[in-house]
Structure 1
């Protein structure tokens, strides 16, 4: 029977024999591969493990390297200036210094030749849970809706609304140093608060810019038909009880750097002019993250009960 080890080695051999764009190559690299050199003479990518040992050589497919890949709505391009705001930026440059030296070089992200394997900043796929700074302040009120006779049967049908809705504007009070001015999609989690809100997750878009605003809206209010028998000479109505609550809410969005940073040297170092360092393999999640914070006064309206009367 074909073993998993044999299958893996056969797959690697096939990859080595086939020219491929950088994006395809990096999909198959194991997590301990932390940097890739570009052998411009042989037109090969040379992949190395973090300990410096050679992993493999892979032909370059120039026809695919310049193709643009559609970005995920939760990600945006990462510039060098933004990458310098990562807590672990010093570890990235030290990695390059230790591996390839400190001689003259320029550092770039998203070079034109490799647009299909960008350095990006993404909001993580974890739900951003709101927290409340104090107990909700609530007011209860009632509304009355009059009914009309249906035909000549003496039956009255009244439409009453039931459910929960919220429409809150939040303000970014601290912007992340990663992905400035970039609008990305996030998922906001509203926790359950007894008699005020149900637990739910809402998708919205946020711009990583100080004092920018974004809305978090949810509406599951529907109309329920209340049918009553009206005695002759009596009028019927429906009374709906609603509770409006206000809460000071806040949340924190993690912006996470991912991808490759290129170190382009004027002279060959360790055999190559160009080296790409893998952010994900070199830095921990916290060392490649910064946060944006937002606050707002969350308002919710819950239509809690109704009853019909005829008098």
Structure 2
């Protein structure tokens, strides 16, 4: 995906001569760099292309085992969950083909190499809700009396206007990735019964069967209606509330990303420890992700204010 321009090659050459945590180096490597070896004696990362040829060597600095800052939508990916990915076999086949099937331990997020983490993230795609059937809506009106303001005969009446929803959703099927973790997500709510435009809401989802989470939104505010009250007249304002109930559901994609370490008991291809890049070996997102499904009964209120009258 990345073109190796003269400037790019020069920048990588500069990197190879300077100490830099590998998570920074990895961002500059082209996609055909699929695995790295750890030269513990020289304290260097050794990057290899997909065809096995050497791409470059990069010094390890004191940030070697400094944890990568986690986004709120990401958490650590344990080995057993990584192995539940639909495309896991491609990772294992890659290791077998390149470094053999010798005695080894497969690990993720080893404490001594925290700069090469394996993570599971709720993707930055908006989780779009879908409604099951038509919403059921009811409308009722509220009359509010006004009060005189000073002696001028002006009446000010305060009413609510806007839209709000507060719904609890239940996870009906948990993802096999990110089990028990609570991650941030963005949920998209479609237009409801032609009374509000679509909107997005931030929330947090715990990937456990039957766990619940809330999706809340409120832009209701007070609006003041002001009018002149003729002598002897009483003024009121009418506001309308439209309440809609509907069944809603959605699916959150949990996506694996980062590095899986294969630590061999005996040196193989020059190193004891190798890291395979999940993203570059399993390029199809569907092969490194699973979904958490959820549903709930959504209720929304739309409040509309009308001009008052004096009688």
Normalising by the smaller structure, the TM-score range is over 0.9
Structure 1 unaligned regions, length at least 5: none
1:234 is displaced (CA, Å) by: 2.2
Partner of 2:14: 14
| Aligned residue in 2 for 1:33 | 33
For 2:95, what is the secondary structure of its paired residue?
helix
Deviation at 1:25, TM superposition (A): 2.3
In structure 2, what is the equivalent of residue 102 of structure 1? Answer: 101
CA shift at 1:297, angstroms?
Answer: 0.8
**Alignment check: 8 A CA contact 2:18 2:59 kept:** yes
Report the 3-state secondary structure (helix = DSSP H, G, I; strand = E; otherwise coil) of the residue aligned with 1:136. Answer: strand
Correspondence for 1:270:
269
For residues 138 and 211 of structure 1, the distance between their equivalents in structure 2, rounded to whole angstroms, comes to: 28
| 3-state SS of 1:266 partner | strand
- State the match for 2:174 in structure 1: 175
Q: CA deviation at 1:285?
A: 0.9
Distance in 1 separating the partners of 2:79 and 2:304: 53
SS at match of 1:197: coil
Partners of 2:253 and 2:26 in 1: CA distance: 24
Root mean square deviation of aligned Cα:
1.4
Match of 1:55 in 2: 55
| 1:305 positional shift | 4.2
- The answer (yes or no) to whether the contact 1:134–1:247 under 8 Å persists in 2 is yes
Matched, 1:130 2:129: yes
**Paired position in structure 2 for 1:184:** 183
Q: Tell me how far apart the structure 2 counterparts of residues 40 and 153 of structure 1 sit (CA, whole Å).
A: 86
Matched residue SS, 2:5 = helix
Distance in 1 between the 2:57 and 2:151 partners? 87
Which residue of structure 1 lines up, in the alignment, with residue 298 of structure 2?
A: 298
> How far apart are the structure 1 equivalents of 2:294 and 2:36?
38
The alignment status of 1:159 with 2:158, answered yes or no, reads yes
Shift of residue 117, structure 1, vs aligned partner:
2.7
**TM-score, with normalisation over the residues of structure 2?**
0.95
| d(CA) in 2 for partners of 1:257, 1:158 | 55
Show the counterpart of 1:45.
45
User: Within 5 Å, which residues of 2 pair with 1:111-126?
Assistant: 111-126=110-125
Per the alignment, residue 148 of structure 1 pairs with: 147
Q: Is the 8 A contact 1:197 1:300 kept in 2?
A: no
1:197 Cα deviation from its structure 2 partner = 2.8
Q: Tell me if the contact between 1:202 and 1:218 (Cα under 8 Å) persists in the aligned partners.
A: yes
SS in 1 for 2:140: strand
Matching residue of 2:250? 251
CA distance in 2, matches of 1:260, 1:68: 13
TM-score between the two structures when normalised by the length of structure 1 = 0.95
Partner of 2:142: helix, strand, or coil?
A: strand
- TM-superposed CA distance for 1:5, in Å, is 3.2
Structure-1 residue corresponding to 2:287: 287
